[in-house]
Structure 1
Amino acid sequence: MEKKYEVLADTMAFEGIPPERYGEVLEALGAYCRTYARGDLVRRVGDEMDFFGIVLKGGIQSVIPDGGRRQIVQQFAAGSVFGEAVAFSSQRCGIEICATASGTEILHIRAAAFLQGDTNPHIARMSTNLLRDMAGKLLMLNMKVRILGKQRLRSRIADYLLSLDPDATGYLELPFGRIELSEFLGANRSSLSREIKRMQDEGIVEIERRTVHILRREALENASEGTYDMIDSGKKMRQIAEEEPLFADFLVSKGFPFSVDNPVTELVTFDDVVALKDLDKEAFLEEYAEFKRNAGK
């Protein structure tokens, strides 16, 4: 087996297939290898996708181009399989696929070869493996849709960080740099940097380059669950108190001279109160979330 194919032993596609049979399987599938420079397009929007690929070296990412902006869908490192869903559906490519590192090597495998009724048991095993791989990617895309559905940037950041698996010491390693992360989360880079700085200042996380340490997991979970959206801050205070009676109790517990009988509550919104009292809105609502949980115990 050629050295560059050694990575296949760690891919889901070749799980259960003896390494000494890799050459036989690749030949039967009409596989071939190509090398790409950083930034090279493997496929453009509208191109035919008659193959799926396995990254042997380097990396690629799938991107939705939107004028001058880009929305990263997924990143693929060495050992990753990509493009199988489009290849087997006979659809044209709906995204751009580009190399993220110089010397990226990709093994191209013709999808049509799986439809020729080959009785090779190793090819049958690969078909099963690919179905499992596609199922995992579907779950990942569902997560991405959920993240992008969050209105607040902090909620998107929190949801994404909570989706990552920490190492034995409790640290997370981001697969993205700051630019790619902003594209993945559908956010402006400056806005992302400001929000991350606020989260660090509040002692929720520590982030050094791509290494993340979650310091206050509960606060991160609150952000992910949309705690900060539980109050429509544009509504008048009386309406908020009528719809959310515990919020009135919380205000009193914080020393606010609040009463629904006060006619002023029909005139001011929660945003007005935030501005008047110079409150940290997100921290204040985080405290309310804790108050609400304790009240339910």
Structure 2
Amino acid sequence: MRKYFDILKTTRLFSDIESGELETMLKCLGAEIKAVDRDEILLLAGDKPRHIGILLTGRLNILWEDYDGNRSLMAAVTSGGIFAEALCCAGVTESPVTVLAEAYSTVMLLGFSRILHTCPSSCSYHIKLIENMLSILADKNLRMQSRMEIVGLKSLRAKVLRYLKSFGYERGQNIVIPFNREELADFLCVDRSALSHELARMKKDGLIDYKKNNFVIF
């Protein structure tokens, strides 16, 4: 488990927690390492979330599926990212989303109740862990609000610009998004061809430049 410490220390959940404390904490939390293959499901919509997860290697997609079986990409989880924490905190009995491995991945699973409740000794680092979790949940809520605002915009151009600026906009700054074209279209709830055409027009108009998933706003 120590080989993943460098990744874990970049995770907001363990912010300001020293390596020595981290090792003790993981034992206290009953941390479990799990490897998953591409297209393997970590959490299926309708199932009860029992753990929060930290992605150590690979990539995961958070998907929402409608009654006709059409899937929409809600978010992508990259190395160091956390998933299912909001579901566990809300105490939902049936997950509204599916967590699917986009590639071969390694995850760490933690029992949420062990995070929420301090151990008998009330260790200072456990209190910090709870503070970090509250910060993560607040940030997740803001991100969901931002996505609702983006999807609600009328023009495709406005959606693209609003999404790119959500990464922290500075003129000429390189922005790396976690989606390919198909995934970005899915995230914005637009047609892929329409998105590609609009990106080309925006580039021609001097608003943006891009190569694959690297973007610059002018």
After TM superposition, the score normalised by the length of structure 2 is: 0.91
> Where is the helix percentage greater, Structure 1 or Structure 2?
1
Q: 3-state SS of the aligned residue for 1:165?
A: coil
Tell me the C-alpha RMSD between the 2 structures: 1.8
What corresponds to 2:87 in structure 1? 86
Pairwise CA distance, 1:149: 0.6
- Counterpart residue identity of residue 125, structure 2: H
Cα distance in 1 for partners of 2:7, 2:190 equals 34
Q: What are the superposed Cα offsets for residues 148-173 of structure 1, whole Å, 9 maximum, x if unpaired?
A: 11122121112111222368962222
Corresponding residue of 2:36: 36
Residue 77 of structure 2: SS of its match in structure 1? strand
Say whether 1:143 aligns with 2:143: no
Question: After superposition, where does 1:1-297 map in structure 2 within 5 Å?
Answer: 2-66=2-66, 67-91=68-92, 92-102=94-104, 104-118=105-119, 119-165=122-168, 170-215=173-218
Displacement of 1:68 in angstroms is 4.8
Q: Which has the higher contact order (CA 8 A, sep 6+)?
A: 2
CA–CA distance in structure 2, aligned partners of residues 45 and 137 of structure 1: 19
Unaligned runs of 5+ in 1: 216-297
Q: Any conservation in 2 of the 1:41–1:97 contact (CA below 8 Å)? A: yes
Q: Which amino acid aligns with 1:97?
A: V
Contact map agreement 2:54 2:80 (CA 8 A) in 1: yes
| Aligned positions, number | 214
Q: CA deviation at 1:47?
A: 0.9
Q: Offset at 1:86?
A: 0.9
AA aligned opposite 2:51: F
Q: 1:99 Cα shift?
A: 1.4
The whole-number CA distance in structure 1 between the counterparts of 2:103 and 2:44 is 18
CA gap 1:41/1:149 in 2 versus in 1, 3 angstroms: same
Cα distance in 2 for partners of 1:172, 1:166 equals 9
- The aligned amino acid for 1:128 is E
8 Å contact from structure 2 (residues 5, 19) kept in 1: no
Structure 1 length-normalised TM: 0.68
Secondary structure in 2 matching 1:108: strand
Equivalent AA in structure 2 for residue 65 of structure 1: E
